[in-house]
Structure 1
Amino acid sequence: MKWYQKEIRLPAVKRGFHLITDLLVSQLPELEEINVGIAHIFMKHTSASLAINEDADPTVRQDFESHFNKMVPENQPYYRHTLEGSDDMPAHLKAAILGSSVTIPITNGSFNLGTWQGVYLCEHRNHASKRTVVITLQGQ
C-alpha cells in the first residue's frame, strides 16, 4: 500500500465556482503509481469549499453561484460575524453547506470521475487570497 500527501496552493480566483481538476492532476505525478486507490482532497479554509459536479457547461457554475447567493444572502440583520465584510459570514455558511473535502476513486493512475464530472473550488469571498488544499493519495 502506498501513501502520498502534499499541499497544493491554488491560485487566487474571483468569487464563484471554478474547475480545478486539471490543475490538481498536473500537480500529482504520484497518481500514476496507483492502480487502485483513493484521493482525499481537503480545503484548509473556512470560507471556500470543494465539490464535484458538472464540468462541461459553464452555465452550471454560474447557476451554482446564483443559487447559493439567494440561498445564503449577505447583510442579514441576524449575522453577528461581520467585521471582515458582508460576504464573510455567508462564505462560512456556504462552505459548511458544501463541505471542506471530496474523495475520488483512483483507477489505473487517474481520477475515476464520471464523464461530466470535475472538481470545483467554490470560492465564497469577494476578495480571496490563494487557497491551499491537502491531497492524500492511498492505494496500490
Structure 2
Amino acid sequence: MKKMQLKTKTRDQFIDITREVEKYVKEQAVSDGTITVYCPHTTAGITVNENADPDVKKDMIMRLDEVYPWDHEKYRHAEGNTASHLKASTVGTGQTIIVADGALVLGTWQGIYFCEFDGPRTRTYYLKAMIG
C-alpha cells in the first residue's frame, strides 16, 4: 500500500490523480489485477469521470452545490460543513480500477479524481494493488 498526499487550493476541487495511479501500477509491476484508490476523509472522496473537458468538473461541482448548499437553515452539524459531508458521501470514499497488460482499464475520456469538498487542506489517499 502507498500513502499519497496532495494539497487542495479551494473549498470544492476535483484533482486529476490518474498519472499518480498509473505510476504506482508501474512501480508495483502490476500486469493484471486491480488498484484500489481510497480516501480516508469524511469531507472528500474519489471518483472516475471524464477528464477531456474541464467543464465537466465545473458542472459537477456546480450541481453538487445546488443539491447540497453550503448554508441551510436546517443543518445542525456544529462545524458548519454539512454540505461537504453530503457531497463526500454522494461521491464515495474510493474506486477500484482494473489493470490489464500493465495498464489501467479506463474509458477513452475517463480519469481518476480526488474530490475535495472542504478545502483548502492537505489530504491523504491510499493506493493498493491486488495482483491476479
Q: Same fold (TM over 0.5)?
A: yes
Counterparts of 2:20 and 2:122, CA distance in 1: 14
Counterparts of 2:6 and 2:99, CA distance in 1: 21
Counterparts of 1:106 and 1:30, CA distance in 2: 13
Number of aligned residue pairs: 131
Tell me if 1:37 matches 2:33.
yes
Aligned residue number for residue 89 of structure 1:
82
**SS of 2:97 mapped into structure 1:** strand
Q: CA RMSD in A?
A: 1.5
Tell me if 1:8 matches 2:1.
no
The amino acid across from 1:135 in the alignment is L
Aligned residue number for residue 44 of structure 2:
48
**SS of 1:17 mapped into structure 2:** strand
Deviations 1:97-133 (A, max 9, x none): 11000000011222111111000111111x3211111
Aligned residue number for residue 60 of structure 1:
56
Q: Percent identity?
A: 31
Q: Which is further off, 61-70 or 5-14?
A: 5-14
The answer as to whether partners of 1:13 and 1:130 remain within 8 angstroms in 2 is no
Shift of 1:28: 4.8
The amino acid across from 2:37 in the alignment is I
Aligned residue number for residue 131 of structure 2:
139
Counterparts of 2:94 and 2:39, CA distance in 1: 6
Shift of 1:30: 2.6
Aligned residue number for residue 73 of structure 1:
69
Counterparts of 2:101 and 2:14, CA distance in 1: 28
Counterparts of 1:11 and 1:19, CA distance in 2: 12
Aligned residue number for residue 18 of structure 2:
21
The answer as to whether partners of 1:34 and 1:106 remain within 8 angstroms in 2 is yes
Aligned residue number for residue 98 of structure 2:
105
Runs of 5+ in structure 2 lacking a partner?
none
**SS of 1:51 mapped into structure 2:** strand
Counterparts of 1:129 and 1:96, CA distance in 2: 18
Q: Which is further off, 7-16 or 93-102?
A: 7-16
Give the TM-score of the pair, scaled to structure 1. Answer: 0.86
